[in-house]
Structure 1
């Protein structure tokens, strides 16, 4: 089966975050099962020669052009748009990681025009919105592709309700598909001073400043603790650095910027605890990656993985804010509690969020789309 995964942007810094990680994980898993899976996206930040594969997945990347001052929504490529019809016709299934943008929407429309089986996955990026641009795009294209797709994949009941609201009626072809992560070797037992890691985009909703503000309470119990704030800047890096300076903690923090996949994995293998203090996070890949390595995770109750993490004992789910984060980190830095949570994290990732389990759900969706 030839499957084309279309996502908005791929860059060396993984600036587009989780959707690209999901697309690459799915494409890699499909290839391991003997299918022909490839990636289609804008590219940005690469030197020559331009990459033709990403992590072993064949990739067609088109240089990104920013035509509107709207972040990722204002990026496109005339060459990609001109090639979309041909590229979708060469696929047996077109799997679009849909956002309100000028990449994935045109690819989805091209698949509908070509009569190709179309599977959409929105990652929480398409929800009811009062913004004028969202209303225009919904009227022109979003509702059309959601209604016309053979399957619409969602992560949580909340996301499903939002998609139904955008369309104006229940989507009969909606299918729940959780994110998965490839199996990883367990990290070695943590050595040295406690190392607490945040590795995600530095944006307001993810609350990296809460991570910084939790540090004094952790340091009161563990004066030698070290903190890492890693990830591409989406507006919060200056606030993070300013808060570190205000607290006088420059010697306790490392802020390395965006990391490659290999560098993220290396940081996880050194970490005692992983923290994602964001609110209303649908299903974060960074937490799944931490669990797979055996790093206990601290998340807030509105995180889509909160019940799984807390129920399995793979970390802690807390109220938003630095106080809850600090208390949870201090609990998990107890050697016995940390070891138990690490073992539970590995078990949870393997049993509930393995790529095999995800693909066992996804492949019948593809086959049903082909049959239709």
Structure 2
């Protein structure tokens, strides 16, 4: 079975969606599928077949307008049995859906939270116009792939009578790093008993890192926050200014984008993971933190929050500074609770978010879509 995954961009700085797309295709290939990616701005030396094309510099970057990619899709989609789209409001998804539809090739559409109420509220007029005009016919022929049940409920409002499937993402195993607690603190000149709060995500207003910083500023106990991620330089400057104005000084470290051994070290060496995001269709960084044994603090907007709460893997906190201050105070004061929540999170990942099992579910869906009946 030949399956083409169409991803707007594979730049590592894009975070979870990029990581998930690569891991998903690798898992499908491990199951014997001839799965490949067509995209823009892919890094070199990926472990899977990727066809990457440049983005036009004369259009909105988030739309990822790539004429050469469109030409390639026109010529090559007919060679595939099935197409799997990643993301809405992207040139690649719109073009690939139209071509697949014209050639009667079935396609799944992973919406990446783009059809949720909070997401559509930003740029409401043009997003609704785009969906009702440019992508109207494409939506009417898609099978939708959501990664959480709350996301699926949003998508059903746009799907009409089309199928909406809920299949979560997986998590790659986090390498062991038995000395990470020591080496991470040594790297930043911290006492060995200083609790570390980790924010590992894009620095974007949607992620609401200001809530975390202001909540931490209200604590009387020792702590250090590692802010691992990239973002718009102007927004990063605002966060640095906020940190300085609240007198947080050297207790907040802005690490930039981390990957490889550096990412393993912050995951294995921190004490608490925090993501006060307004909305996450899944929350891959949250799942990675649980895989590393960290207790997680999230908002109800993180769509796997119900699973976290049921498993006792973390705390689900309303997105207010005071609520987050209290939750952080509670966890930082109780290492036994942190350990218990972290162990529960690891169990949740092992039972629910394994790429092999998720690939098996997708292969079953692919075969059903290709079945003559």
Q: TM-score, normalised by structure 1?
A: 0.88
1:86 aligned to 2:75?
Answer: yes
Q: How many residues end up aligned between the 2 structures? A: 355
Q: Is the 8 A contact 2:88 2:114 kept in 1?
A: yes
Aligned to 1:204: 205
Partner SS for 1:251: helix
* Structure showing the higher strand proportion among its residues: 1
Residue number in structure 2 paired with 1:64: 55
SS at match of 1:298: strand
Distance 1:294 1:120 in 2: 32
Map 1:250-265 to 2 at 5 A. Answer: 250-260=249-259, 262-265=261-264
Going from structure 1 to structure 2, the CA distance change for 1:364 and 1:240 (only over 3 Å counts) comes to same
Matched, 1:100 2:92: no
Alignment of 1:5-154 (within 5 A): 5-12=5-12, 14-15=13-14, 17-43=15-41, 51=44, 53-54=45-46, 56-68=47-59, 70-73=60-63, 75-127=64-116, 129=120, 131-149=124-142, 151-154=143-146
Unmatched segments (≥5 aa) in structure 1: none
Unaligned 5+ segments in structure 2 are 183-191
What is residue 355 of structure 2 aligned with on the other side? 355
SS at match of 2:5: strand
SS at 2:9 equivalent: strand
After TM superposition, the score normalised by the length of structure 2 is: 0.88
After TM superposition, give the deviation of residue 185 of structure 1 in Å.
4.0
Q: Which moved more, 1:17-26 or 1:193-202?
A: 17-26
Q: In 1, distance between residues paired with 2:140 and 2:253? A: 46
- Give the drift of 1:187: 5.4
Q: Could you list the per-position Cα deviations for residues 326-357 of structure 1 after superposition, in whole angstroms to 9, with x for gaps in the alignment? A: 33233333221111112111101111111123
Structure 1 CA distance, aligned partners of 2:206 and 2:248?
23
Alignment partner, residue 295 of structure 2: 296
Q: C-alpha separation between the residues in 1 aligned to 2:362 and 2:345? A: 24
Change in Cα spacing, 1:127 to 1:330, as seen in structure 2 (3 Å) is closer
Residues in 1 aligned to 2:349 and 2:81: alpha-carbon distance in whole angstroms: 30
Q: Which runs of structure 1 show a deviation greater than 6 angstroms over 4 or more consecutive aligned residues?
A: none
User: 1:95 deviation in Å?
Assistant: 0.7
Contact 2:289 2:296 in 1 (8 A): yes
